[in-house]
Amino acid sequence: MAQKKKASQPSSKTLPKAPTGIQGLDEITGGGLPRGRPTLVSGGAGSGKTLFGLEFLVRGATQYSEPGVFMSFEESIPDLTKNVASLGFDLDRLVADKKLFVDHVSITRSQFGETGEYDLEGLFIRIADAVQRVGAQRVVLDTIEALFGYLPNPGILRAEIRRLFNWLKQKGLTTVITTERDQPDGLTRHGIEEFVSDCVILLDHRIREEISTRRLRIVKYRGSTHGTNEYPFLIDNQGISVLPISSLGLDHDAPAERVSSGIARLDGMMGGKGFYRGSSILASGTAGTGKTTIAACFVDAACRRGERCLFFAFEESPRQIVRNVRSIGIDLEPWVRKGLLQFHAARPTYGGIEQVLLLTHKRITSFQPSIVVVDPVTNLLMVSTQNEVRSMLTRLVDFLKTRGVTAIFTSLTAAGSMEASEADVSSLMDTWLLLKNIEVGGERNRALYVLKSRGMEHSNQIREFVLTDDGLRLLDVYLGPEGVLTGSARMSQEMREKAVVTFRRQELESRRRELERKRRIFEARMVMLRAEFEVEEEVIQQTISESELLGKEVVQDRGQMVLSRQADSSSYKKKDVSARAARKR
């Protein structure tokens, strides 16, 4: 029991941390910023330093009941209030509720000239007063360059910076100090702050190939492990969101339930039951092979089961998709009207890879779908590198699996590299449907096969499929001397097989008719023979009867003749008895 109690309690050696409430940041820091210690947030202009500090205070006050003090050395209080109002942060209300104290300290070069030697004593008094007013546990100083920028003496500068950080630490205040980064290879302008800080976070806002992207990296965190990668983050109308890959462990469930693909014969190629629920499916192929149609069939089947579907389209508009799949008998519009299907259509170039990822997360979180379609993932390569797209999709796949969402991703492949996804995400997928065009006899026909499907038996056959007015239809496999027959070659093979079957059926029917004819002839002959027999029998019987009758009449006539001559009747009788006894013997 003692051991269990000891295991359930947090170790006294664990560094206390103050959660930031910033989505994703607490995961990569292992719980937040070091409590009671200063954290340096470095970045260039427009990287989000001030917003980082304000969100740290607002979420601390609203979510963790930790009041805070924001001391600005550049922006005025009205400007700050207006700037963050668009993010849903009501600074005036927090100030009125004594959860936040906002102060603006203006420092100009003339003040240095008038006061002579610079001293932070007045600033300490001002901060201490503000902390006391609201009982603050968190403090943000924005930015340190405005505070020390006019100090000409490097020695005094170093001493005052160290003094400021030590004072904040002694007061036990969890502090965020923002600093400007004016050199790509440096974190701060003076090169001192990062050494006296317990935690250093670097915010980077870069432009690559005309696409804006933001990255966050934890450069240093004393006394604690932390994520060391460069993480994309986004600033939107709900503040900062960091999407770490390291936070998503592979501990999601693996449901045994199966869901139909919407194509009965495709289900048959996977044991007759379709995909695993919560799995990830890749449908890859060259242009025009039917990738979006496969996804539409899957969505239609899910909506018929009453499940919600979310369709991310990076290439076509929702109306275009609905119109195109309607031509093959799939009508998605009723599902849209019923609220079972939502489209989000936009080109990835509108905001960069991290914005796409964050938007995807938010849409999934708010709509709670059972099925998600991303069509196509290869369009993400327009805004980022292959490695970044793969990292983004890894995050997305893990996110979907933790929620039990079944997802189908389409991917465009180049001709000649069929068994390789251009986004290099095939290893992330549980099932891979490969679609291809087969050229035979001057025709191009569509074919499909299941390249892999983890955890289930699946067909190894290449199946031709056609798009009909009644949807996508998988056809039987026809093999010829040159391999799988498709299109006209398949139809010709079908006709030949039908001709053979028809000939055999006709031959069989002919034999049956011949047999029946012979049977009837036999029966007719039997009838005729029986009739002849009966006629002859009747004649013979009549002859026999006449002979017997004649014999009797002869005997009678002889007896009468004997009587009429009055001969010895006894001898006659004796002879008559002897004659009858002889006949009996």
DSSP code per residue over 315-378: SS-HHHHHHHHHTTT---HHHHHTTSEEEEE--GGGT-HHHHHHHHHHHHHHH--SEEEEE-GG
Q: Which of 75, 315, 316, 333 is catalytic?
A: 315
Reading the block at residue 304, the tokens are 């018929």
How many Cβ atoms sit within 10 Å of the Cβ of residue 308?
18
Q: Is-cis flag, bond preceding 143, omega within 30?
A: yes
Q: Which of 79, 77, 84, 30 lies closest to 52, judged by CA?
A: 84
d(CA 78, CA 83): 9
Q: In the annotation, is 315 catalytic?
A: yes
Q: What's the token pair of residue 327?
A: 């031509």
Q: Which two three-digit tokens encode residue 174? A: 């969890």
Q: Cα–Cα distance between 331 and 465 in angstroms, integer?
A: 20
Q: Please give the Cα distance from 424 to 318 (Å, whole number).
A: 27
Closest CA to 416 of 283, 291, 282, 286: 286
Which is it for strands 309-313 and 17-18: parallel, antiparallel or unpaired?
Answer: unpaired
Distance of CA 17 to the CA centre of its chain: 36
Helix (H, G, I), strand (E, B) or coil at 2: helix
Phi, psi for 567 (deg, rounded to 5): -80, 175
SS (H, E, C) 177-204: EEEECCCCCCCCCCCCHHHHCCEEEEEE
**Which of 457, 460, 434, 456 lies closest to 447, judged by CA?**
434
Choose among 449, 309, 306: nearest CA to 374: 309
DSSP 463-517: EEEEEETTEEEE----EETTEE--HHHHHHHHHHHHHHHHHHHHHHHHHHHHHHH
Question: What whole-number distance in Å separates Cα of residue 224 and Cα of residue 16?
Answer: 10
HSE-CB of 375 using CA atoms within 13 angstroms: 27
- Residues 12, 13, 19, 22: what is their CA dihedral angle, to the nearest 10 degrees? -150
- At 240, which amino acid appears? I
Work out whether strand 309-313 and strand 371-375 pair parallel, antiparallel, or are unpaired: parallel
Contact 473, 465 (CB under 8 A): yes
d(CA 448, CA 497): 24
The first and second tokens of residue 224, run together, are 């604690």
Q: Which of 27, 66, 74, 494 is catalytic?
A: 74
CA 297 and chain centroid, separation: 14
Cis peptide before 34 (omega within 30 of 0): no
Can you tell me the distance from the alpha carbon of 480 to that of 494, in angstroms, rounded to the nearest whole number?
Answer: 11
Catalytically active residues, by annotation: 74, 315
